[in-house]
Structure 1
């Protein structure tokens, strides 16, 4: 009986139409998630006006989504490693679609907050699972680029969420946006059921449906004969809870370093995303100009994700991210000193987004490549869950910084400091992994 290592089959063949299909479906999943996540910020003024709410009363509406993302990441990562990537993705996509549809029919703030939390749970579970599945179908030489490219769907979806909200709220009311955000994932579910494959590495590791493994591999390597073979993967199978695997001797240092990097970068990203328009407007800039300048942060993040993914496949990925995180700190600190020139301010905000948001997408891809198959979904999900703690801290700390009445230049130096920590963490991570290579 011939032994076939499925990891080697995937690594030795070029990108096929089948693999492009997997990446495209995962792209659509995170794009819909981006649409849903971003749209609530544009709906808030209309919700506040309809229900006569004060600004403090609206605060839970924003925080509940972040807590839902955190909960979903912590819960669905281990479920995916236990029961499979495909079923977890389908459940999460259907879950946040139904929750969004229900949220569109909420008649008061409390039910809306609860349903937005549940929507966040579904999104928080689907996002890292999409990263994991994409990673497991990409060859080693293209993996980081394809994972970061797939995740650009989130920023594109976020941009589309803003555009759709701007046109739909006035014409059809704020509920129409939540309805669309619920219909899109539900429509996608049949395509995921029919065309999204289970991870072939997961199937082999769990010794499940080996006939399906042969069928899937024929899509990647159509000329090979997979009859009378025994399938294996490079990594061995571990026993016990997937969360416990993250703390095995060979993984524990990397796990803790990734958690710290995710915490720092998401803290900075959410602080800037939440408070940059307010901080820029405080200099006397119009709200319209402040919004356009802030949009450059997302544009830069999309460009950064693609370019950094390409660089990470060609050079040591930890060192690429270390340089980019450290450079992000410089650009973020410069924002507060360039407020007199709209062009210079927009340019430095774009470069800050390129470095910090691009690095965060790269860190997701790095986490997927760091963990073995038996705990990959848990590793990526829990790193995102810890990072979401940083996002909550970042969203809340902007107000505290403003209340301190520091000069704007000092505020942005403080905001850039966690990015500098992220760079140092990646440098240490690179040195930690160096003896074993990439």
Structure 2
């Protein structure tokens, strides 16, 4: 009798988790498309509005800065005021300002609109990562968050294909209209399927109000107690790894077509380099999600980055070897960019409910900063005529730094019982309140 009574309830719970994850996956896809759509329309847009390369670069930069600030700001606000509320706000901001881009008539206007829209684009991921994590069991949390975030590059790939099919026929404004409309339309399933508050969210405000030590300042409240309970060293180690890996991928995705072309690959085939990396990323993230179905992804991702370092170093020696180079690009995408798609899941494991959205948001902001630094530094090094051997050796070292950061984050993160894995850092990572209370 008990089995018959429990089974329907368990089935409803599973269906609820699947529905919530699918909605978050759809938001992730839309966010990926809206974030990268400017890359798809840039050539036609520049010609239509007579925008030079420098001005177009400022438009790109404005959007990137907006996404960084959006992640930093909306993550903590989602912990404070509710995941669903902030997700709806992010979608409204993304949709409204993306629609407005379709009517922009100058580079300055477009840059301002992309900056404002970027606040919503960057702010959408922290709430959906927290919602997905808190809807799942602890055993399935990492794999579901990874699967959810695969929607981001998939949205870019699908959006790029749709753009290529429609833009030449209907013009670049249609791309912005489509992206903005999808963001606004996503509000409906968000309100219908995602609960106003997860059971875990009920513990957030009391936990924040109870901490009179770290939350004593305005900055500490805004950050959301990220470093409390022994997370300081683990958090900085994670951010070090995230920054190193995103500098690497920002360089690879931005300049791989150029490097391939400079080494004898025809321009039309060289353009496929970035596509191959992203397809590899999706496959790599899927494999990692299968490996970590019942655990945290730290170890699997660290191993993936070490393997990626070897592949990147090898790539520098076969870059002009035609199909062999494309095969290595796929593996590099799977190891490096596929590993990066687990960052929201890793942050969801490191940060507890009360600061989960803030932790994911700040982690992604660090990563997006790296993806801005990568192309800038890569361009400087290419301009100084670095040899491919030296260039890809430096890239491989970045992958090893990423593996080191993830490994140290796993070593130093608190255990489930609140104690620290690395004893010499225990006192250093305590909050002021814990030290004053004599907790050792």
Q: Please, what TM-score do these two structures have when normalized by structure 1? A: 0.87
Q: What is the rounded CA distance, in whole Å, between the counterparts of 1:142 and 1:393 in structure 2?
A: 34
Corresponding position of 1:112: 110
Deviations 1:232-262 (A, max 9, x none): x9x9964631515112241111111121122
Q: How does 1:340-379 map to 2 (within 5 A)?
A: 340-379=320-359
User: Is 1:68 the equivalent of 2:66?
Assistant: yes
Corresponding position of 1:432: 412
User: Is 1:333 the equivalent of 2:298?
Assistant: no
Deviations 1:361-406 (A, max 9, x none): 2222011111111111111101111222211111211211111101
User: Is 1:271 the equivalent of 2:251?
Assistant: yes
Distance 1:138 1:179, change over 3 A: same
Corresponding position of 2:173: 175
Distance 1:435 1:175, change over 3 A: closer
Q: What is the rounded CA distance, in whole Å, between the counterparts of 2:320 and 2:55 in structure 1?
A: 35
Q: How does 1:231-250 map to 2 (within 5 A)?
A: 238=211, 240=215, 241=221, 243-250=223-230
Q: Is the 8 A contact 1:335 1:412 kept in 2?
A: yes
Deviations 1:280-336 (A, max 9, x none): 111121111112232110011111111112222346632212111111111122222
Corresponding position of 2:146: 148
Corresponding position of 1:283: 263
Instruction: Give the root-mean-square deviation of aligned CA atoms.
Output: 2.2
- Partner SS for 1:197: coil
Q: Is the 8 A contact 1:104 1:176 kept in 2?
A: yes
- Partner SS for 2:139: coil
Corresponding position of 1:261: 241
Q: What is the rounded CA distance, in whole Å, between the counterparts of 1:379 and 1:430 in structure 2?
A: 15
Distance 1:53 1:27, change over 3 A: same
Q: What is the rounded CA distance, in whole Å, between the counterparts of 1:31 and 1:435 in structure 2?
A: 33
Corresponding position of 1:392: 372
User: Is 1:53 the equivalent of 2:33?
Assistant: no
Q: What is the rounded CA distance, in whole Å, between the counterparts of 1:290 and 1:339 in structure 2?
A: 11
The worse-fitting range, judged by mean Cα deviation, of 97-106 and 422-431 is: 422-431
Q: What is the rounded CA distance, in whole Å, between the counterparts of 1:98 and 1:45 in structure 2?
A: 24
Distance 1:405 1:287, change over 3 A: same
Q: Is the 8 A contact 1:277 1:294 kept in 2?
A: yes
Distance 1:237 1:307, change over 3 A: farther
- Partner SS for 1:194: helix
Q: How does 1:414-425 map to 2 (within 5 A)?
A: 414-425=394-405
Q: Is the 8 A contact 2:281 2:338 kept in 1?
A: yes
Q: Is the 8 A contact 2:140 2:294 kept in 1?
A: no
Aligned length: 402
Q: What is the rounded CA distance, in whole Å, between the counterparts of 2:160 and 2:228 in structure 1?
A: 43
Q: Is the 8 A contact 1:334 1:409 kept in 2?
A: no
Q: Find the partner of 1:78 among 42, 65, 76.
A: 76
Corresponding position of 1:301: 281
Corresponding position of 2:133: 135
Deviations 1:73-103 (A, max 9, x none): 0110111011000000011011100010001
In the alignment, structure 2 segments of 5+ residues that lack a partner are 1-9, 216-220, 422-440
Q: What is the rounded CA distance, in whole Å, between the counterparts of 1:93 and 1:434 in structure 2?
A: 34
Q: What is the rounded CA distance, in whole Å, between the counterparts of 2:414 and 2:122 in structure 1?
A: 31
- Partner SS for 1:16: helix
Deviation at 1:431, TM superposition (A): 2.2
Q: What is the rounded CA distance, in whole Å, between the counterparts of 2:11 and 2:412 in structure 1?
A: 30
- Partner SS for 1:245: coil
Q: How does 1:179-198 map to 2 (within 5 A)?
A: 179-198=177-196
Deviations 1:397-429 (A, max 9, x none): 121111110122321221222111011112222
Q: Is the 8 A contact 2:305 2:335 kept in 1?
A: yes
Q: What is the rounded CA distance, in whole Å, between the counterparts of 2:62 and 2:297 in structure 1?
A: 34
- Partner SS for 2:105: coil
